[in-house]
Chains A and B, each alone.
Chain A
Amino acid sequence: MDIKRGAVSGTLESSDVQVTIEPAANGIWLELSSSVMNQYSRQIRQVVLNTLSNLGVERANVTVVDRGALDSTIKARVECAVFRASEWEGAIPWQGLVK
């Protein structure tokens, strides 16, 4: 999926995560801050990168501000931000691109 514009998804509430996606010239650039940085930063990074890879995103600047979200919440917020940023129209490919 192509990132055509900047988009945000999620909030800064406890148990949530805010994901900002912007177009980039090449590669994935990920900036992460988390309330549980020390314990989970590697895992959060992994979930974000896996989700982007499943969606076929190859170029993006991604900023993630985590407030202790579950993996499923991180995945949901990344997906929503990507679909918004790609200006997707039409049915969402549940069980396809959206695993």
Chain B
Amino acid sequence: MAGTCEVTSDPKKRLRRTMLFLNAQRPSLMKDAYIYGPDSVILDLEDAVSENQKDAARFSLYNNLRSIDYGTVERIVRINGLDTPHWPEDVRASVAGGADGIRIPKCERACDVKRIEAAIEDAEREFSREPGCTLIMAAIESPRGVLNALDICESSERLFGVAISGGDFRAAMRTKYYPSGVEMASARGNVLLAARAAGVQCFDTVFTNLDDMDGFRAEVIMNREMGFDGKSIVNPRQIAIVHEIFTPTDKEIREALRVVRALRQNADEGVGVFLVDGKMIDAAFLSGAEHTIALARASGVLGEAL
């Protein structure tokens, strides 16, 4: 199936249901969190690291990237913001260490991505990395960032996706967390639309109350129903729930396979609209069904459903 191989072979489109934040300054967290099997880790040089330990976190990050085998887990580094003196050295340490990608915090405009992209290009040259191998994701944390989301999503060939970050956004909107998610509706809707229009991935904000696993589950279900690709997470305990909700069920996979098969067959026979399991199906269903199959394959459950 043409549309499905991409997911695993193009690093920009790989499976990213869970992106687990880890404080780059704390070796106890960094050394074994990947064992829990998130799709990606985000080694954090920004908010988790105090101002007087920024240098220490970089040494820790660099050596961690160079020496610890993360297996198939993707390693993203969250650098410090463009409004700090730290980000240029953060980019150099990340690229020198061989990070798979860089997460830009507090992204407000396409030119923010371009500045980081230029620094990455310089660092790839300096440290003899393959040009273009360091990917970018942008975190959108402000009303202006949300309004500029499409420009940001289309700002760089390296950009694989955008993440919404709720903490600063809620404060800027003069609201706070509500279980209904109504306070994040404008950001989620707009950033998702931009990501889909640009053909990049989209990740929802973290859920920080570890005592409220029911609230977490409800939010992840809403994320999946809205069409997110995954979620930034803060604790390994959150991984299993996200993977369970974001992995297609056997029933969904079998349905998707039947839809793809029926679409092919009917197209050959010149039929545009037809029924599968009592539901009206036409060509508009193809990309959705192919995505479900790709997700199942990337999650390692395609074989089980067949």
Residues of A within 8 A of B (CB): 9-10, 13-16, 69-73, 75-77, 79-80, 83-84, 91-92, 94-95, 98
Within the complex, the shortest CB–CB distance from B142 to chain A, in Å, comes to: 30
The residue among A79, A83, A94 with the most chain B CB atoms within 10 A of its own CB is: A94
Q: Which residues of A contact B27 (CB under 8 A)?
A: 13, 15-16, 69-70, 73
Answer whether A94 and B63 are a contact pair too, CB < 8 Å, given A14-B28, A70-B27, A73-B27: no
Extra contacts, 17 of them, besides A72-B66, A95-B96 (Cβ < 8 A), are A10-B56, A13-B26, A15-B27, A15-B31, A16-B26, A16-B28, A72-B67, A73-B27, A73-B60, A75-B63, A76-B56, A76-B62, A76-B64, A77-B56, A77-B60, A94-B92, A95-B127
How many residues of chain B are within 8 Å of chain A by beta carbon? 21
Chain B residues, Cβ within 8 Å of A75 = 63
- Which of B55, B63, B93, B97 sits near A73, CB closer than 8 Å? B63
Q: Give 30 CB contacts A-B under 8 Å.
A: A9-B56, A9-B59, A13-B26, A16-B26, A16-B28, A70-B27, A70-B31, A71-B67, A72-B67, A72-B68, A73-B27, A73-B31, A73-B60, A76-B56, A76-B59, A76-B62, A76-B63, A76-B64, A77-B56, A80-B60, A83-B59, A84-B55, A91-B89, A91-B92, A92-B89, A94-B92, A94-B96, A94-B127, A95-B127, A98-B62
- Of all chain B residues, which has the CB nearest A75? B63
